[in-house]
Every structure is written in C-alpha cells, then in structure tokens.
Amino acid sequence: MADAEEPEKKRRKIEELTEKMAVDGGHGDSGDWDGRWNHVKKFLERPGPFTHPDFEPSIESLGFLLETCKILAIGAGGLGCELLKNLALSGFRHIHVVDMDTIDISNLNRQFLFRPKDVGRPKADVAADFVNNRIPGCKVVPHFNKIQDFDESFYRQFHIIVCGLDSIIARRWMNGMLISLLSYKDGVLDPSSIIPLIDGGTEGFKGNARVILPGMTACIDCTLALYPPQINFPMCTIASMPRLPEHCVEYVRMLQWPKDEPFGEGVGLDGDNPEHIQWVFQRAHERAADYSITGVTYRLTQGVVKRIIPAVASTNAVIAAACSTEVFKMASSAYIPLNNYLVFNDVDGLYTYTFEAERKENCSACSQVPQDLQFPPSAKLQEVLEYLTENASLQMKSPAITATLEGKNKTLYLQTVASIEERTRPNLCKTLKELGLSDGQELAVADITTPQTVLFKLKLTS
C-alpha cells in the first residue's frame, strides 16, 4: 500500500518494539535488546576450529567490548566511514575519531556517512553524529583536529588504534607516537605499554592492512622502503618515447608549459584552473596524435596534473573490513591476529596474500639503536641533509639538525621557520669539519614524520 504515513508508522512501531525489548531483556539504558549481539556472541561464547589456542569462551568478553574497550580511529574519510560503521556494528561503543578535514561534495560517492547538506562541515563531527544516531548505545567522540594536536596522555587512553589515513607522513607520526609510549625496564619492553596499531591504506584498486605491535613487530618505518617515493616517469620516456597518454600530459606539464608560458611570464600551472587544464589537454592531445597514442582526455589530464589517484569504494570496504576484523580479534583475544601484512589488489582479476613484514634491526623509529651517519670530514652539511631526505629507510621531509657543541645546543639547519632558515642556510655549504663536528658527535634531527627527535651518531671516515 502506497500510504505516505506508512513509513512513519513503521518507524514508530519499531521504536516502541525496541524500547520494550530494552526494558524486558536488555541492559537498561544501553539500548540493548534481546538477541542484539547474537552475531558477536557466536565468536566469543563458543570455541571453534579457528579460535586462538588459549581462547576461553566466556560471556564476559562481550561486556569488555561493549563497556570498556576504547578505540581510536584516525581518519573519517573513505576508510574511516567504513571503519566507524564496522566497529560500531561489532559492538564497540567507546570510539574516538580524529580527522582534520571538512566534507567536500566529491566525497559523497563513497563516504556514506555524509549527505549533501553536510558539505563544508567537519568529517569527524558528521561521522560521529551519524553513527551515534543510528546505532543505539554507541558513543563516538569526534575531534576535528590534526593528530599532532594531541600529546601522549591523549593517545595513552586507548586500547587499540586503527588508522585509515591517506598520508604516509601522518602514519609515520602516529607510529612514532606509539613507539614513544613504550616503556622499558632494564632493556625489557613492558608489554602493558604497547598499544596495537591496525593500519589500513588504499590507493585505487590496491590496498593493504597491517597489524603493528609497537616495539615487537615491524613498524611503519621498518618497512618504509615498501613505500617508494612518488613515482615519476623517467624523463627520457616523457621527452622522446612516450607510450602512455600520461606521458603526453607529463611532457606538456614539465617541458612545454615552462617553455611556452601560455598564461604569461612566470605563471605556474594551476591544477584547479580549468583554462590551464584545457591548454595542457589540447597540447597533450596533439602530442598523443603524433605518436598514435589514444586516451588523452580532459579528465585524465586533470588527474595527472593534480596527481589524483581515484578512490575506489570497494577497495576501502575490503580493507576496512580486514582492519575492523583485526581490531575485534585483538580486543577479544579470540583469534590469532594477522601476521602481519595483508596485500589486496584487484587491478586485474583479484589477488590477496599475507606476509610477515620483518623488523628492521636498526630502524630509526623503533629499534632503540642509535643511527650512524658515515661521512668524510670534508662532506658538506648539505650532503647530510640530502641523505636524510633521500635514504629509502629515512625519507625525512624537512629535517632540522641540531648538535650540542661545547655544552650549547646549536641549530645547524632548520627549514621550517623562514628567519632561522635564512640564518642557518650558510651552514649547508660548510664542511662537517668547518662546523666543528668531530667523530662520535651526536646529531639530533627533528622532522614532521615523527613526534620525537631522532638521534644520530656521526662517524667520520677518513
């Protein structure tokens, strides 16, 4: 019957029923009703062939999930929306979410907790409101912040942290924060200081999920070489033997734009300016025709210029599902956690596999081994800086180098504050010897990739 009042009646009926259930068989004001958590209880209250060898089925585990366990979700975007939904439906009720972004209209195709009316509002706030309204008893606390806005005491309150981030820098910072929370007694790690980190990442049709026990298993920085620096097409390909439509766009962006300066002298290419993109598209199209390459479109041009990697909703769903499952396994101890890195790829067909990423013995983030920097005394500070940014295991972004010389802290180079940069810039051309650095000198390096300073020991080679 197509009665306009029908949905409203139905809703009220469900509400009444829910209320009744909660009073009759549930846990009072927690909004539970009979059978609400049966799907979760199946995993917690009976043994099974896949349960952890030490697992003892218990009716108390559910109570821990519902009442005690405190989860922090970082990111409320594509992965974050999926994560929050999964966690809330799995019984987690004390969830905090941190996200520094506001909602853009282009998010709405996959970030399903958001509606057109929410455009411009903070993702964290809207996501939390949505889940709290939809799932009785769940309490998501939003933080419209950067992760760097919080200190150790904030992060220490959580049992498990799950990341759905699109930035490697933010991931590394989070990783570094959890490592800084570890406490050691006589060189032995205190297990109670470990907060597990479940990290998910997606890029188009590829994704990964991993479980990190800081101080015990491979951390983000241990496997940094797995995240190669941004892939750029080789210049020779772009300049003389293009094969892909992307090569043609890159040719125009890198070579033809600076040469022609189509919008006036010194006007840089602006990916958000449709006229600029149109110009690049036309030139790239012509170049593609010269080489019989097809597929140069306006959209592709914009994608290459702005380095847009299309977000794929189904990849997010798969990775968030894997991550939420790991949170559940970790919180309940009912199953053996992922060990420790899952790869998912459905670019061509579909495959997935798991491998054990290994700890790096001298990882700059988690090894507690001082890092050696080997340079001849004649090396310039510039070379040290380049090493810190280009080394595959370090990949720092804007390292600030300080040394203690004659009992005083001396900033050798700092890029992020203009006045200090100007003052310390001459040091870059000086040799280590000229700077008064000797063999065994400790250098403290601060960078946005970590909340802690990393200590290096200078080894002067002759």
Minimum Å gap between C-beta 365 and Zn ion is 5
Nearest to 298, CA basis, from 318, 282, 321: 282
- Does 363 interact with Zn ion (rule: CB under 5 A)? yes
Q: How far is CA 391 from the centre of its chain?
A: 21
User: For tokens 């600029």, what's the residue?
Assistant: 276
- Whichever of 334 and 366 has its CB closer to Zn ion, that residue is 366
Stretch of 31-39, 217-225, 343-351, 412-420 lying at the interface with Zn ion (CB under 5 A): 217-225
Stretch of 43-51, 88-96, 118-126, 361-369 lying at the interface with Zn ion (CB under 5 A): 361-369
φ, ψ (nearest 5 deg) of residue 209? -135, 140
How would you classify the pairing of strands 188-189 and 197-203? unpaired
Minimum Å gap between C-beta 21 and Zn ion is 48
Stretch of 150-158, 363-371, 380-388, 400-408 lying at the interface with Zn ion (CB under 5 A): 363-371
Q: Among this protein's residues, is 236 annotated catalytic?
A: yes
- Does 366 interact with Zn ion (rule: CB under 5 A)? yes
Contact assessment for residue 459 and residue 372, using Cβ atoms and an 8 Å cutoff = yes
Q: Which ranges of 112-190 would DSSP assign to H, the alpha helix? A: 123-134, 152-156, 168-180
Minimum Å gap between C-beta 374 and Zn ion is 21
Quote the CA–CA distance of 20 and 336 in Å, as a whole number. Answer: 38
Residue 53 CA: distances (Å) to CA of 48, 65, 112, 210, 292 = 10, 20, 38, 22, 61
Q: How many residues bind Zn ion (CB under 5 A)?
A: 6
Contact assessment for residue 440 and residue 458, using Cβ atoms and an 8 Å cutoff = yes
Vertex 238 angle, CA 233 and 241, to 5°? 120
Q: What is the DSSP letter of 307?
A: T
- Whichever of 21 and 169 has its CB closer to Zn ion, that residue is 169
- Does 197 interact with Zn ion (rule: CB under 5 A)? no
- Whichever of 365 and 400 has its CB closer to Zn ion, that residue is 365
Contacts with Zn ion, 10-39, as mask; x by CB under 5 A: ------------------------------
- Whichever of 100 and 216 has its CB closer to Zn ion, that residue is 216
- Whichever of 219 and 394 has its CB closer to Zn ion, that residue is 219
Chain positions 64 to 103 lying near Zn ion, rule: CB under 5 A, are none
Catalytic residue among 81, 219, 236, 363: 236
Nearest to 117, CA basis, from 38, 126, 198, 109: 126
Contacts with Zn ion, 109-148, as mask; x by CB under 5 A: ----------------------------------------
Quote the CA–CA distance of 413 and 39 in Å, as a whole number. Answer: 57
Q: Which amino acid is at 293?
A: I
Contacting Zn ion (CB under 5 A), which of 219, 319, 357, 394?
219
Nearest to 181, CA basis, from 139, 140, 150: 150
- Residue 205's CB is within 10 A of a number of other CB atoms, namely 16
- Does 199 interact with Zn ion (rule: CB under 5 A)? no
Stretch of 64-72, 138-146, 355-363, 448-456 lying at the interface with Zn ion (CB under 5 A): 355-363
Stretch of 16-24, 63-71, 105-113, 215-223 lying at the interface with Zn ion (CB under 5 A): 215-223
Minimum Å gap between C-beta 394 and Zn ion is 12
Contacts with Zn ion, 220-259, as mask; x by CB under 5 A: -xx-------------------------------------
Stretch of 104-112, 366-374, 426-434, 441-449 lying at the interface with Zn ion (CB under 5 A): 366-374
Q: Residue 416 is encoded by which pair of tokens?
A: 């992020």
- Whichever of 222 and 322 has its CB closer to Zn ion, that residue is 222
Q: Which ranges of 135-270 would DSSP assign to H, the alpha helix? A: 152-156, 168-180, 235-240, 245-251, 257-260
Nearest to 280, CA basis, from 308, 299, 294: 299
Minimum Å gap between C-beta 75 and Zn ion is 21
Contact assessment for residue 414 and residue 421, using Cβ atoms and an 8 Å cutoff = yes
Contacting Zn ion (CB under 5 A), which of 365, 384, 446, 460?
365
- Whichever of 224 and 384 has its CB closer to Zn ion, that residue is 224
Contact assessment for residue 70 and residue 159, using Cβ atoms and an 8 Å cutoff = yes
Quote the CA–CA distance of 246 and 250 in Å, as a whole number. Answer: 6
Minimum Å gap between C-beta 212 and Zn ion is 9
Residues interacting with Zn ion, by CB under 5 A?
A: 219, 221-222, 363, 365-366
- Which residues carry out catalysis? 236
